[in-house]
Structure 1
Amino acid sequence: MIVVYLILLAVIQAVTEFLPVSSMGHLCVLEGLLGIDHGTGLLLEVILHLGSAAAIVFLFRRELKKIGVELLGMFMDIIGNLNLYIHNKRTGSNLNYAKIVTGTYRKFTALLVISMIPTVLLGFTGRRLALVAADLPIVPGIGFLLTGILLLVTDLNKSGGTKGPREASYDSAMWIGICQGLAVFPGISRMGLTLCAALLCGYNRKFAVRFSVFMSLPAIVGAFFTEIGNFGSSEMTVGLGFVYVFAMIVAGFVGCLFIRTTINMAQKVKLRYFAYYSFAIGIVALALNYV
């Protein structure tokens, strides 16, 4: 029966991951209903997210390859500038330094790197609190309601602008990264917070969604490495480990089928409708807590 339960969780996670409705909140509510505990920490949730991340890598491999090339190029330019600095100091020369950020893709890559700094700090320091919150049935319900309020306010405020990667600022990338770091708690939608933050910073909806999708990848991988030690916990068996990996594969496969559709919905559907959904599921989650 546990295999059926995990397949259900994998499908729900894959479908909701890139919608502003908190896939983590859905998982915690369903796990409570199915009687699945967190004896292995948040390893199951992280593995399911890893499956969705693999689907993103497969579907957007060309864009990610360009980002990887630009990241390597920036690193090499930084090393080159350091060598020039040392050379100029030793010889008294005044050789010009290479410009680190050039072109749209390199600017996009730089924004992703900047956004990950607060995400890593907040995610690492808040992961234990996130585990405690995942075991409290009331927390996902409250998280859904808070997400709904933020989505509704952003929609009614008609936030958003025309900014793309060229006009984007590094301080706004930092704020978006902070929002992603705060979304470790179940019910608080990572996509919802980062999307609203980007729109409030004046970004256009298409770029805001795209930025949120790509910035999730290093966060998911980082979360996996913080939880991988739970494979050695007393609750983990060889059979359960294989089931977890199978659920990850299911999440990746379902993600390949639905991610483009859900990303398109996040770009075009009015945020108020996601807010109404978050209110509804939040009320249901709170009601189940008192049943």
Structure 2
Amino acid sequence: MVSILQAIILGIVQGITEWLPISSSGHLVLFQKLFGIQPPVLFDIILHIGSLIVVFIVFWKDIVKLAKGLIKKEKASWIYLSKLLIASIPIALVGFFLNGFIKSIFHSTKTVGFSLLFTALLLYISKYPKKKNRSITFKNTFIMGIFQSLAILPGVSRSGSTISAGLLQGAKRQETARFSFLLFIPAILGATVMEITTLSQINGNLTALIIGTVFAIIAGVLSLKLLLKIINKNKFQYFSIYCLILGIILLFIAYA
């Protein structure tokens, strides 16, 4: 059973780490081990809904613009939607075929440790693109989608992997960030549907779960806006230091 205080802490951790490129799943695994709890599936579902709310709050103008363009049958909007759908294919395939395997290693400290080292490397090399300031192509988006599928592993940051993949291909920073977070919408919708299918009953402290999600939304909006500013200042790779240190610490603990 998750208490209100534990739900608030987990919610804040989720809200901050979901958007900053330091892996929300990895940090949630660590805090769950720290508290000695295993939150119900319902908590994950509600947190996912909270994450969607964050995206709609921060990017509502882009979402409304895209929706209007689709209704008006504007070519640019339909092309953008096509890019989002194509980029979503890799994570859909990985989630469907490897879901059981991922769950079997999800709470492994070693997995989180090695995944954080991978995230650190990816973030660091993202500042060395071959070309810069190019518009996102279908090829760019599909590669971003492949990197997003790696984020199913705890410790691999979804925002870190997708944005780094875009930057390494020379895509514009702001355009890459916007696409990455809009790409989050179909990914999290798919994950939510899969988790709902495993929900046999509603259990847990529903009040605590909702309160935790509210804190996750507040922390999420603040951290996402902070990340966008960091990306604009070209300091995205600085998070690699944090991931490197935490990854080394976790591997030391795992093998000690």
* Fold match (TM-score > 0.5): yes
**What CA deviation, in whole Å up to 9, does each residue of 1:132-172 have, x standing for no partner?**
222212111111011111222222x24551112xxx32122
Percentage of identical aligned residues: 29
Provide the rounded CA distance (Å) in 1 between the counterparts of 2:150 and 2:237: 22
Matched with 1:117 is 89
Query: Does the 8 A contact of 2:133 with 2:171 survive in 1?
Result: yes
Aligned partner (choices 271, 276, 280) of residue 241 of structure 2 = 276
| 2:207 paired with 1:248 | no
Aligned partner (choices 95, 104, 107) of residue 135 of structure 1 = 107
Tell me which amino acid in the other structure corresponds to 1:265.
I
Aligned partner (choices 65, 75, 87) of residue 102 of structure 1 = 75
RMSD (CA atoms): 2.3
Provide the rounded CA distance (Å) in 2 between the counterparts of 1:150 and 1:30: 24
**What CA deviation, in whole Å up to 9, does each residue of 1:181-219 have, x standing for no partner?**
221010011111111111122201111111111101111
Aligned to 1:231, the other structure's residue is in SS state coil
Give the deviation of 1:29 after TM superposition. Answer: 1.2
Provide the rounded CA distance (Å) in 1 between the counterparts of 2:247 and 2:90: 28
**What CA deviation, in whole Å up to 9, does each residue of 1:217-269 have, x standing for no partner?**
11111101100134325xx52x4344323322221132233321222223425
Tell me which amino acid in the other structure corresponds to 1:213.
F
Matched with 1:288 is 253
Tell me which amino acid in the other structure corresponds to 2:19.
F
| 2:133 paired with 1:153 | no
**What CA deviation, in whole Å up to 9, does each residue of 1:20-76 have, x standing for no partner?**
1111111111111111236x45x53453233122122123222112222334455xx
Tell me which amino acid in the other structure corresponds to 1:18.
W
Tell me which amino acid in the other structure corresponds to 1:251.
A
Provide the rounded CA distance (Å) in 2 between the counterparts of 1:179 and 1:5: 31
Provide the rounded CA distance (Å) in 2 between the counterparts of 1:178 and 1:46: 24
Tell me which amino acid in the other structure corresponds to 1:28.
V
Give the deviation of 1:3 after TM superposition. Answer: 1.9
1:257/1:273 Cα in 2 relative to 1: closer, same or farther (>3 Å)?
closer
Matched with 1:169 is 137
Count how many residue pairs are aligned between Structure 1 and Structure 2. Answer: 255
Unaligned residue ranges in structure 1 (runs of 5+): 75-100
Query: Does the 8 A contact of 1:25 with 1:140 survive in 2?
Result: yes
| 2:57 paired with 1:58 | yes
Larger CA Rg, structure 1 vs 2? 1
Unaligned residue ranges in structure 2 (runs of 5+): none
Tell me which amino acid in the other structure corresponds to 2:67.
G
User: After the TM superposition, which of the residue ranges 196-205 and 120-129 deviates more from structure 2?
Assistant: 120-129
Give the deviation of 1:127 after TM superposition. Answer: 2.4
| 2:24 paired with 1:26 | no
1:25/1:46 Cα in 2 relative to 1: closer, same or farther (>3 Å)?
farther
User: After the TM superposition, which of the residue ranges 241-250 and 15-24 deviates more from structure 2?
Assistant: 241-250
Query: Does the 8 A contact of 1:21 with 1:192 survive in 2?
Result: yes
1:195/1:160 Cα in 2 relative to 1: closer, same or farther (>3 Å)?
farther
**What CA deviation, in whole Å up to 9, does each residue of 1:91-146 have, x standing for no partner?**
xxxxxxxxxx723x443333212211222222222322222222212111111011
Matched with 1:4 is 5
Tell me which amino acid in the other structure corresponds to 2:75.
T
Provide the rounded CA distance (Å) in 1 between the counterparts of 2:4 and 2:200: 20
Provide the rounded CA distance (Å) in 2 between the counterparts of 1:194 and 1:204: 13
Tell me which amino acid in the other structure corresponds to 1:153.
I
